[in-house]
Amino acid sequence: MTPPDRAQPALQTFLDQAAGEVLVLHDETAAAAVRGLSCDGLAVATVGGDVPEPTKRWSAVLVAVADAAALRRAVSVLPRLGRARRIGCLLVEAAAPPVLVPRPEWPPLTSVNARTLASGDRLTVLRWERPVGVHLVLEELARASTPTRAHNGGLFVASTTRGPDTAPPADPGLHVLGATTEAADPEVGVPPDVVLTTAPAAGLPEHPVTGRPATVVTDPDLVGGPLDEGVLNPTGFVQRPEHGVVGLTVDPVAGLRLRSPEGDLDLPVDVARGVTAQLVATLRDRAGVATAYVDSSPGLVRAVAALAMAGVPVTVEALDADARARLGDDLATALTTAVDLTDPLRREEHSVRLRRAALLGHSSLAWRARLAQRAGLPHRSFPTCTVLLATKREEQLDFALRQVARQRGADLELVVMTHGFDPDPARVAELAGHPTTLLPTPPEAVFGDVLNAGVAVASGDLVLKMDDDDWYGRDHVADLLLARHYSGADLVGTTAEFVYLHELDRTVRRADRSECYPRFVAGGTMMIERARLDELSGFRRSRRYVDASLTASVLSAGGSVYRGHGLNYVLARRESGHTWEANADYFLDPDRAGGAWDGFAPSLLLDPDPVDLPRPAAP
C-alpha cells in the first residue's frame, strides 16, 4: 500500500504527459496515493463529492480507489465526466491491475499499460486514438474487475445519498438525486422505480412514463446498500486450511478486530469499508472465524454477513434480537449452530449453509428483490431451468424422478427422455413434482440426439443435465444457480466428489478442488444457458463422452467453466452401465481419494430420503 504523503512517480508521470486539464478522483483509502501530485490545470476531488467542470475538456482522468469493490461502487455514483484520451485507474488493494476489452463502438485503443507499482498499488493507463466517454470506460473496468453477472434486474433505483459507501455495485443506471421529488421529474425518460433516502419523505406523484409513482424507501438496511457478491463469494474456498480459528472481537477503542490465538494475525476491520477481498484472502487458509456475541455494534452485523457470503466458516455463540432480525432467520440459525471446524467435511458443510443464506439474504440480487417487493413490481432473481433427464433403465425411473422432485428454491420444469421404453405418463407426472414433459425416444437413438430432443422441447432459460442413478441434495439446483451468478461462467457444475461403489458398499470422497474454474465438471451436474447451447449446436451427436464434448466446445468458444461445491451430489458406480468407464480401483486410487468409508456416507447436505438409500450388492 502507498506510503503516506509521498507522490508516486508513475502517477506524476501520468499527469506530466497530459496536454491540458487533468482530473484526479479518489476515495479515502487512496488519498495518500495521490497526495503531493501536481501539474498545471490539476483538479482533485473525492468520489461522491463535487466535481469541477473543465474549461473545455479533461485531457486525462485518473480514478484512485481502494480495490475492485470500491471501483464497482464508485461507478454507480460518478457523474458524467465528458471525454478524454487518457484514462487511468489505480487500485490500492488488488490482486492484479484492472483491464478491459474495449467496446466496439469506442475509438481505437492505442496503448494499455497495466502494472504493479513499487508501492504494491495496481495501475492501469489506457490511451485512445480519440477522446472516449470517461464514465463508459470506468464502468467497463468495474464490470471486468469481477466475472459476476452484473445487471439491475430491470429495476431502476435512485438514491439521495451521493457517497459510494451505500451504492449498489456496478450500477451506472443508479439515479443520484438532490431530493426525492426529483424522481417525479416528467422530463426524465427513464425514471426510477424506487428512491432510497435517509430522510422521511412524502409520497411522490405518478410519473407519466411509468404510469405510477416511484416508491420511497427509508429502511436503513435497504438504504445502506447490498453486499457485493462480485467480490464476496466462495471462489477460492480452501477445503483443508493450514491454520486454526480466528477470533472476531469488538473493542471499544480498536473497533472490530480479527485476532488469532497464536498471535500471528491481528487485523482491523474497517467499519466504513467492511470486509474486503484482501481480508477474505487472508482468512482463506484459516479454519474459520469465531465470535461470542453479535449485537448492533457499528459494522458488526454487516461484517459477519459479508464473511458468511464469502464462504468463511463463521460461528457465533449468541445474537441479540436486532442482529438476528438484520441477519435473517436462515443466516442467524446457521451462524449459531454448533460445528466442529477441525473436521474438514463438517467445516465445509457449515460454510455452504452460511454462504447460501447470506447470498440469498444480503447480496445485490436479494437487495433488488426486496426493493421490487416494496414497489410491488415483478422481479426474477434467477433464470428458469429445464432439467434434462435421459434414461434407458426403466427400473431407475422412479428413483430419478424423486431426485428432481426434491429440488427447491428454483423455477424448474422437467423433460424426461426415455430411451427405448414408454412409462406411464400419469406415474411420471405424479412423482416428478414439477411441470413435466415425457419424451420417448427410440432405442437406436444416440445419446447426444436424445439430449437434443429434450432441449428442443425445453422452455427454461437454462438446461441442467441430471443422471438417472445419482443422488442429489434438495439444494443442488439452487446452489448451481448461485454459483452461475457469482462466477459468471458459461457452464457450471460440480465435481463427482462423493462416489458410492455399489459392489463394495463403500463411499469415496475424491480430492478434487471446488469453487474454482477448472476444465471439467461432472456430466450429471452440467448447467448451461439454452441460448449458449444452441450457439454450440447443442449436444454432440455421440454415443459417449457427450459431456466432455460440451465442455470442450464451451472452452473452444472462449467460454468459462466453474465448479461449485460437491456436497449436494453423489455419483453412483456399478460394474457396468455407465458411459464413463472407470472401475473401482480408479476411484480408490490414493492419489485421487481424499477419504473412504464403509457403506453409504454422503455429506449431511445430501440428506437423502430413506426410500432412496442404496442396497448393497449381494455378495
Q: Could you list the residue range(s) of the whole structural domain that residue 253 is in?
A: 243-362
Task: For residues 8-15, give the mean pLDDT.
Answer: 93
Residue 336: pLDDT band with limits 50, 70, 90: very high
* Percent of the chain clearing pLDDT 70 (strictly above): 95
User: Per-residue pLDDT for 7 more than 90?
Assistant: no
Instruction: Give the up-direction half-sphere exposure of residue 500: CA atoms within 13 A in the CB hemisphere.
Output: 20
Q: CA nearest 156: which of 375, 381, 362?
A: 375
Predicted confidence at residue 202, as pLDDT, reads: 82
User: Is 247 inside a domain boundary?
Assistant: yes
**DSSP codes of every residue in 509-547:** EE----SB--S---GGG-EEEHHHHHHTTSS-S-SS-HH
Q: Are residues 134 and 155 in the same domain?
A: no
User: Per-residue pLDDT for 5 more than 80?
Assistant: no
Q: Are residues 71 and 37 in the same domain?
A: yes
Q: Are residues 105 and 168 in the same domain?
A: no
Asked if residue 52 lies in contact with residue 41, where contact means CB atoms within 8 angstroms, the answer is no
Task: For residues 563-570, give the mean pLDDT.
Answer: 98
User: Per-residue pLDDT for 581 more than 70?
Assistant: no
User: Per-residue pLDDT for 128 more than 60?
Assistant: yes
User: Per-residue pLDDT for 559 more than 60?
Assistant: yes
Calculate the alpha carbon distances from 249 to 32, 259, 300, 332 in Å: 28, 8, 9, 18
Task: For residues 36-50, give the mean pLDDT.
Answer: 94
Residue 130 grid coordinates = 480519440
Task: For residues 450-458, give the mean pLDDT.
Answer: 96
Q: Are residues 268 and 331 in the same domain?
A: yes
* Percent of the chain clearing pLDDT 90 (strictly above): 88
Give backbone dihedrals phi and psi of 454, rounded to 5 degrees, phi first: -70, -40
Predicted confidence at residue 252, as pLDDT, reads: 81
Q: CA nearest 107: which of 130, 133, 82, 79?
A: 130
Q: Are residues 317 and 402 in the same domain?
A: no
User: Is 380 inside a domain boundary?
Assistant: no
Residue 107: pLDDT band with limits 50, 70, 90: very high
Predicted confidence at residue 110, as pLDDT, reads: 97
> What percent helix, strand, coil does the chain show, rounded to 5?
30, 25, 50
Asked if residue 64 lies in contact with residue 34, where contact means CB atoms within 8 angstroms, the answer is yes
Predicted confidence at residue 574, as pLDDT, reads: 83
Predicted confidence at residue 616, as pLDDT, reads: 66
Predicted confidence at residue 4, as pLDDT, reads: 43
Task: For residues 358-365, give the mean pLDDT.
Answer: 97
Predicted confidence at residue 543, as pLDDT, reads: 83
Predicted confidence at residue 254, as pLDDT, reads: 78
Separation between Cα atoms, residue 125 and residue 12, nearest integer Å: 13
Residue 26 grid coordinates = 479518489
Task: For residues 548-556, give the mean pLDDT.
Answer: 96
Last residue of a domain, one of 89, 113, 144: 144
Residues 6 or more apart whose Cβ sits within 8 Å of residue 154: 379
Residue type, 420: G
User: Is 177 inside a domain boundary?
Assistant: yes
Q: Are residues 600 and 471 in the same domain?
A: yes
Asked if residue 38 lies in contact with residue 18, where contact means CB atoms within 8 angstroms, the answer is no
Last residue of a domain, one of 124, 144, 164: 144
Domain of 85, CATH number, reads 3.40.50
Separation between Cα atoms, residue 493 and residue 500, nearest integer Å: 19
Bridge-based pairing state of the strands 194-196 and 157-159:
parallel
Q: CA nearest 492: which of 465, 526, 467, 542?
A: 526
Task: For residues 189-217, give the mean pLDDT.
Answer: 93
Q: Are residues 213 and 260 in the same domain?
A: no
Q: CA nearest 475: which of 521, 407, 391?
A: 407
- Backbone Cα Rg of the chain: 26
**DSSP codes of every residue in 348-362:** HHHHHHHHHHHHHHH
Predicted confidence at residue 589, as pLDDT, reads: 66
User: Is 473 inside a domain boundary?
Assistant: yes
Based on the structure, what is the number of domains in the chain? Answer: 4
Give backbone dihedrals phi and psi of 139, rounded to 5 degrees, phi first: -60, -40
Last residue of a domain, one of 204, 219, 234: 219
User: Is 432 inside a domain boundary?
Assistant: yes
Asked if residue 170 lies in contact with residue 142, where contact means CB atoms within 8 angstroms, the answer is yes
User: Per-residue pLDDT for 205 more than 90?
Assistant: yes
Q: Are residues 352 and 426 in the same domain?
A: no
Residue 591: pLDDT band with limits 50, 70, 90: low
Residues 6 or more apart whose Cβ sits within 8 Å of residue 557: 490, 535, 536
Separation between Cα atoms, residue 58 and residue 131, nearest integer Å: 9
For 301, the enclosing helix (H) or strand (E) is helix 300-309
User: Per-residue pLDDT for 579 more than 80?
Assistant: no
Predicted confidence at residue 585, as pLDDT, reads: 65
Residue type, 598: D
Asked if residue 440 lies in contact with residue 421, where contact means CB atoms within 8 angstroms, the answer is yes
Residue 572 grid coordinates = 453412483
CB atoms inside a 10 Å sphere around CB 153: 17
Q: Are residues 139 and 167 in the same domain?
A: no
Calculate the alpha carbon distances from 371 to 77, 200, 422, 471 in Å: 19, 17, 47, 37
Residue 346 grid coordinates = 463438517
User: Is 234 inside a domain boundary?
Assistant: no
User: Per-residue pLDDT for 419 more than 80?
Assistant: yes
Residue 536 grid coordinates = 454450440
Q: Are residues 215 and 307 in the same domain?
A: no
What is the pLDDT of the chain when averaged over all its residues? 93
Residue 578: pLDDT band with limits 50, 70, 90: very low
Bridge-based pairing state of the strands 175-176 and 194-196:
unpaired
User: Per-residue pLDDT for 49 more than 60?
Assistant: yes
- The listed range with the strongest mean pLDDT (168-172, 377-381, 525-529) is 525-529
User: Per-residue pLDDT for 590 more than 90?
Assistant: no
Residue 136 grid coordinates = 463508459
Separation between Cα atoms, residue 228 and residue 170, nearest integer Å: 9
User: Per-residue pLDDT for 582 more than 80?
Assistant: no
Calculate the alpha carbon distances from 146 to 27, 30, 72, 98, 541 in Å: 20, 20, 9, 10, 35
Q: Are residues 344 and 292 in the same domain?
A: yes
Residues in the chain: 619
CB atoms inside a 10 Å sphere around CB 422: 9
Crossing angle of helices 364-375 and 344-362, rounded to 10°: 30
User: Is 62 inside a domain boundary?
Assistant: yes
Residue 202, SS3 per DSSP? coil
User: Is 252 inside a domain boundary?
Assistant: yes
Q: Are residues 104 and 180 in the same domain?
A: no
User: Per-residue pLDDT for 247 more than 60?
Assistant: yes
Task: For residues 39-50, give the mean pLDDT.
Answer: 94
Predicted confidence at residue 203, as pLDDT, reads: 84
